[in-house]
Chains A and B, each alone.
Chain A
Amino acid sequence: MLLVPRQLRRAGITGDVPYYGGRFTPAQAYAASHPRTARAPTAAAAPSRPDPIAALGHLLETGVITRQEYDDLRARVAP
């Protein structure tokens, strides 16, 4: 009997591998393995950033910066 081969979708043992041009690019692999919910905070989440004045105070208290450096940097940030 004559046989006309059918085009079949290629798959792996764990399921359909989402190929792109035959291969998954590193960027796509990264994106696929890091869902949107796991991405860096968006603008809406910005208020959760640390207070810069408190951070400067911490640096001063722990001796990372001097009082003069603290005053200089403190003057650059909003009150």
Chain B
Amino acid sequence: MTAPVQVLVVGFDEPSFSGEVLAELTRLKLAGVVRLLDVLLVSRDEDGVFETMAPPPGADPDLGRVAVEILGLAEGPGGAPETVEGETWSLDDAVPPGSAAAVALLEHTWAEPLVESIRNAGGRPLDETWLAPADVERLRAITVRS
């Protein structure tokens, strides 16, 4: 697997990935755009403790297993946590205490050839971000004008 994988953390009042979201992800997969690798449902109590939630009825009982291995350490491992250099993040940063979230691992299959071509051209990633909605509106206004 060489395509970039995005972690999408979405807060829900009732933690679930709705049928509508799954239908859209299925459409994108068929179009060769993204592939949903796994979804993990988590809750976090007011003390900040995370707990995984059972997959929705009818879903694959293994749903979330891969995400747990990637994003967390299951209860009980010994030893000190590994040190990670550079800018880091974790679910601790993303999910507020007293809430629940669906965490999706999305493989951006569309980006694989782009990343490969950048690498072949000797390009190095310097920065990347998303435009804020207000700036997207400005962009839309500019493109409509021209």
Q: Is B137 an interface residue (CB 8 A)?
A: no
Contact: A10 with B50, CB < 8 Å?
Answer: no
Tell me whether chain B's interface is mostly helix, strand or loop, or mixed: mixed
B131 at the interface (CB under 8 A from A): no
Which of the 9-residue segments B14-22, B24-32, B86-94, B138-146 touches chain A?
B86-94
**Smallest beta-carbon distance B94→chain A, Å:** 9
Least Cβ–Cβ distance between B99 and chain A, in angstroms: 14
**A-B contact count, CB below 8 Å?**
105
CB-based contact B90/A8 at 8 Å = yes
Residue B90 contacts which of A6, A11, A14, A15 (CB distance < 8 angstroms)?
A6
Q: Report chain A residues within 8 Å CB of B51.
A: 1-3
> Is A5 a contact partner of B75 (Cβ separation < 8 A)?
no
Closest residue of chain B to A19 (Cβ to Cβ) is: B87
For the complex, give the distance between the alpha carbons of A32 and B127 in Å: 11
Q: Chain B's nearest CB lies how many Å from the CB of A30?
A: 10
Q: A10, B125: Cβ atoms under 8 Å? A: no
Inter-chain contacts of B84 with A (CB < 8 A): 7-9
Task: Provide the B115-139 mask, 1 if CB < 8 A to any CB of A, else 0.
Answer: 1001100011111100000000000
Q: When the two chains form their complex, are residues A33 and B126 in contact, meaning their CB atoms are under 8 A apart?
A: yes
Is A22 an interface position by the 8 A CB rule? Answer: yes
Identify which of B108, B119, B124 gathers the most chain A CB atoms within 10 Å of its CB: B124
Contact B125 A29 (CB under 8 A): no
Please tell me if the beta carbons of A3 and B127 are within 8 angstroms of each other in the complex. no
A7 to B120, CA, bound (A): 30
Contact yes or no, A7 B128, CB < 8 A: no
What residues of chain B lie closer than 8 Å to A2, measured between beta carbons? 49-52, 74-75
Contacts of B97 in A (CB 8 A): none
| B49-90 contacts to A (CB < 8 Å) | 49-52, 68, 70-75, 81-82, 84-90
Q: Chain A: residues with CB nearer than 8 A to chain B?
A: 1-19, 22, 24, 29, 32-33
| 19 pairs, A vs B, C-beta closer than 8 Å | A3-B75, A4-B50, A4-B72, A4-B74, A5-B92, A6-B72, A7-B84, A9-B86, A9-B87, A10-B88, A12-B127, A14-B114, A14-B115, A14-B118, A18-B86, A19-B86, A19-B87, A24-B126, A33-B124
